[in-house]
């Protein structure tokens, strides 16, 4: 049964619906790429300041940290929204279509920002009506798509004096009104792999005079794709994908060099280390067989999101109070996608969940598609859920605030 404060919170967010829709459409029409979100950050900061919420720009003006004035020194609950767009052309025929060629909010970060604004404005307006003191902070983060923004926000103090954090991601693979929660590992360790293959160039008609790096590249990719699945415990998922290969300029010339760029995704550090070691061993064999030199560079990106089981349970209960237990889908198979929300979880425990946005019976365009879109209902529901989760995580407990 709903309490007076939840009814008031929901009513406030319902009243904000036109503003949230207008904000999301403005952001959608004016996307900014990762690391360039200064107009977006300034727009969000101005909106929050106009409502009497203390804000400061972070990450060189591309991010925002906001909280109500006069909060106590108690630990606070943070909620995060990423705000960057993708370098993808907007293919939709809508009034709020991107005005910037080659840029689009194809991952829903405009919706995440509007959802967080809705939660912030509602929590601020109902401060004295909530069931216990709710000390909170809103974090609007740049550069999630390049996995660099969260680390910059942490360096700028986003997690200072924070005890827990919650966040969500819109999900067109789930129906609107349904959510996805995972207690434990939710995403993958994401790492970059760069390969340089150096050979001896020559005439295409005389390959015996050369050491062909293209041949080595083909053998390396093929061997890695075949051998790695049999080198890592099949119960510990891992995938290596090369998405770029560059080498050569003429059809009748064997080049001196080929470069490969790839990504490695695993659910454990052990699998990551095994993958990297085996890839180097495979590379050594290919180099010996082809007379080339093969060099690897591995860069470790964001860690896996590992949700705190107890905090996730509390968020599930808060969500169920609004949309029912049947709306919660258990995520038992973690994704091999990446999310730098894990940078915050390295500092404090938290919960990251999925918010369904699909409507109708047909399969909607998925994330990172230039045709991706969602309805205003998603914004209202998302704001209610984030606000309720924030209140739930701020509830006083024996021994004080929750800590890891």
Overall CATH class of domain 4-186+304-393? alpha beta
pTM, to two decimals: 0.93
- CA dihedral sign, ordered 97, 102, 107, 109: negative
Structural domain boundaries of the chain?
Answer: 4-186+304-393, 189-300
> Across residues 275-286, what is the average pLDDT?
98
Which DSSP string corresponds to 210-226? Answer: SB-HHHHHHHHHHHHHH
Question: Residue 279's closest CA among 214, 221, 215, 197?
Answer: 221
> Across residues 36-59, what is the average pLDDT?
98
Question: What distance in Å separates the CA atoms of residue 102 and residue 195, rounded to the nearest whole number?
Answer: 28
Residue 216: what pLDDT?
98
> Within a 10 A sphere around the Cβ of 215, how many other Cβ atoms?
20
Question: What distance in Å separates the CA atoms of residue 356 and residue 368, rounded to the nearest whole number?
Answer: 16
Contact (CB, 8 A) for 34 and 148? yes
Max CA-CA distance within the chain? 83
- CA dihedral sign, ordered 369, 107, 52, 392: positive
Q: Burial-class residue 93 by CB neighbours within 10 Å (0-12, 13-18, 19+).
A: exposed
Please compute, for residue 212, the number of CA atoms within 13 A of its CA located in the half-sphere on the CB side. 15
Which DSSP string corresponds to 125-179? Answer: HTGGGSSS---EEEEEES-TTTT-HHHHHHHTTTTTTEEEEEEEEEEEEEETT-E
What would the pLDDT profile of 98-150 be if each residue is shown by its tens digit?
999 999 999 999 999 999 999 999 999 999 999 999 999 999 999 999 999 99
- CA distances to 69, 139, 163 from 57, rounded to whole Å, are 16, 10, 22
> Could you tell me where the DSSP H helices lie in 199-268?
213-227
Residue 398's pLDDT band (boundaries 50, 70, 90)? low
Span of 64-73, 151-160, 191-200, 202-211 with lowest mean pLDDT: 64-73
CATH of 189-300, one of 3.30.70.360, 1.10.510.10, 3.40.30.10, 3.50.50.60: 3.30.70.360
């Amino acid at each position: 049964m709903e309490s007076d404060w939840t009814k008031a919170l929901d009513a406030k967010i319902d009243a904000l619906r036109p503003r949230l829709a207008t904000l999301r459409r403005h952001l959608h029409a004016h996307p900014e790429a990762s690391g360039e979100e200064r107009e977006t950050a300034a727009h969000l900061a101005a909106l929050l300041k106009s409502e009497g919420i203390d804000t400061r720009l972070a990450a060189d003006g591309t991010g925002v940290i906001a909280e109500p004035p006069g909060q106590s020194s108690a630990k606070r609950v943070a909620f995060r929204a990423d705000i960057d767009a993708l370098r993808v052309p907007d293919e939709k025929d809508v009034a709020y279509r991107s005005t910037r060629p080659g840029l689009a909010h194809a991952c829903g970060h405009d919706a995440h920002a509007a959802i967080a604004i809705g939660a912030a404005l509602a929590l601020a307006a109902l401060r004295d009506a909530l069931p216990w003191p709710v000390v909170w902070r809103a974090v609007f983060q740049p550069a999630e798509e390049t996995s660099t923004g969260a680390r910059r926000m942490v360096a700028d103090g986003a997690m200072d004096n924070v005890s827990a954090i919650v966040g969500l991601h819109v999900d067109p693979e789930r129906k609107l009104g349904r959510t996805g929660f995972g207690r434990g590992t939710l995403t993958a360790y994401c790492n970059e792999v760069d390969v340089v293959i150096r050979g001896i160039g020559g005439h295409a008609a005389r390959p015996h005079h050369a050491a062909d790096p293209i041949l080595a590249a083909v053998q390396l990719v093929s061997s890695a794709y075949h051998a790695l699945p049999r080198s890592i415990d099949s119960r510990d998922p891992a995938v290596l994908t090369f998405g770029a290969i560059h080498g050569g300029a003429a059809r009748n010339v064997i080049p001196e060099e080929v470069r490969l760029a790839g990504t490695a995704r695993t659910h454990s550090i052990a699998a990551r280390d095994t993958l990297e070691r085996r890839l180097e061993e495979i590379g050594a064999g290919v180099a010996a067989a082809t007379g080339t030199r093969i060099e690897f560079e591995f860069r470790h990106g964001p860690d896996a999101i590992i949700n705190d089981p107890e905090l996730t349970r509390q968020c599930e209960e808060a969500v169920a109070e609004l949309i029912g237990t049947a709306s919660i889908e258990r995520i038992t198979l973690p994704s091999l996608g990446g999310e730098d929300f894990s940078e915050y979880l390295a500092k404090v425990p938290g919960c990251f969940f999925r918010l369904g946005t699909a409507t109708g019976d047909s399969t909607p365009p998925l994330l990172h598609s230039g045709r991706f879109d969602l309805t205003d209902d998603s914004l209202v529901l998302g704001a209610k859920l984030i606000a309720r989760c924030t209140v739930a995580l701020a509830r006083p407990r024996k021994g004080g605030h929750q800590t890891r």
